[in-house]
Amino acid sequence: MNRVFALWQTAVGKKVAMAVSGILLVAFLISHMASNVLVFTAPEKLDAYAEWLRGFGPLLWVARAGLLALVGIHIAAAWQLTRMARAARPKGYARLEHQVSSYAARTMRYGGVLILVFIVFHILHYTTGDFHPDFVPGEVGRNLVVGMQVKWTAAFYAISMIAIGAHFYHGIWSVFQTLGLNHPSWNRSRVTLTLGLTLVVAGGFLSIPLAALFGLLR
Ligand code: HEM
């Protein structure tokens, strides 16, 4: 345990923590997206899936707590790495020149804040039903379709999914760097894998609010 704590104190440890928590969150998002697009076949299929998940009883709460811990670790590591980077150049530059890397870092930070706001809204929307116009507990598919009929909500989902796509793209790209998989001969596969995953996951999610906005999800 002491070793883990000592590793966490270093910049490399925090980067590894960000990478590992990010990879596990990506795994959750892949399965979450795959189950949500079932709404295009029949909303009841989503109910059956949610019912199956609830069948795990207390284990579902363990998974939820794990998910929350992953988000916490991911944010704490990002926050502390930002502070470490700022502390390394306390006076700032005489002439501020935004480079490509700092552009990506800013995108990650602001995008990350938007994603956090989205997650809070999302849970109050579809899990507790507080922000839902007509929430019926257990009717997950119907709740999804009805909740998306509110135009501004669907637009907010669409914008958040674009932010998630950008976050995803930069995040997956950096994971290769953190894991040392950044040899020039890898670059083509790195671009293909990063872009492919981003398009499938963010695109899959985005298709739902877009379908609602164009009247294709009723
Ligand atoms: C268009 C995009 C999305 C749709 C339509 C959607 C839909 C849903 C629905 C219907 C639920 C309720 C499930 C249930 O009660 O069983 C849910 C729960 C949840 N969603 Fe999403 N989701 C989307 C994107 C996301 C994203 C991008 C994240 C994370 C960044 C996310 C994180 C969660 C979490 C943490 C829960 C709570 C899970 C639980 O309580 O067990 N969702 N989502």
Q: Is the per-residue pLDDT at 66 higher than 60? A: yes
- Ligand 1 in contact with 142 (CB < 6 A)? no
- 162, with CB counted inside 10 A (0-12, 13-18, 19+), is middle
* Closest-CA residue to 117 (of 151, 164, 50, 177): 164
Determine the Cα–Cα distance for residues 185 and 190; give it in Å rounded to an integer: 9
pLDDT at 62 > cutoff 60: yes
Residue whose pair of structure tokens reads 């990478």 in the numeric block: 19
Distances (CA, A) of 49 to 19, 42, 44, 190, 204: 29, 12, 9, 33, 18
* Residue 127 CA, ligand 1 centroid: distance in Å: 8
| Domain-located, residue 13 | yes
Domain annotation covers residue 11? yes
Asked if residue 189 is part of any domain, the answer here is: yes
Residue 218 lies in a domain: no
Q: Is residue 183 part of a domain?
A: yes
DSSP 154: H
For residue 92, the 8-state DSSP code is -
Query: Does the CB atom of residue 176 touch ligand 1 within 6 A?
Result: no
Determine, yes or no, domain membership for 21.
yes
HSE-up of residue 22 (Cα within 13 Å, Cβ side): 25
Atom index in ligand 1 nearest the CA of residue 143 equals 10
Ligand 1 geometric centre to CA of 144 (Å): 10
The answer to whether the CB of 163 is under 6 A from ligand 1 is: no
pLDDT digits (tens, 9 = 90+) for 107-143: 888 899 999 999 999 999 999 999 999 999 999 999 9
Cα 7 to averaged position of ligand 1 atoms, centre (Å): 32
Instruction: For residue 134, give the CATH number of its domain.
Output: 1.20.1300.10
- Does 163 map to a domain? yes
- Within a domain: 176: yes
**pTM, full prediction:** 0.90
Domain coverage including residue 159: 2-89+100-213
Give Cα 147 distance to the centre of its chain.
Answer: 20
Describe the crossing of helices 11-36 and 187-213 by its angle, rounded to 10 degrees.
40
Domain count, the chain: 1
| Nearest protein CA to atom 23 of ligand 1, as residue | 205
Residue nearest to atom 24 of ligand 1 (CA): 205
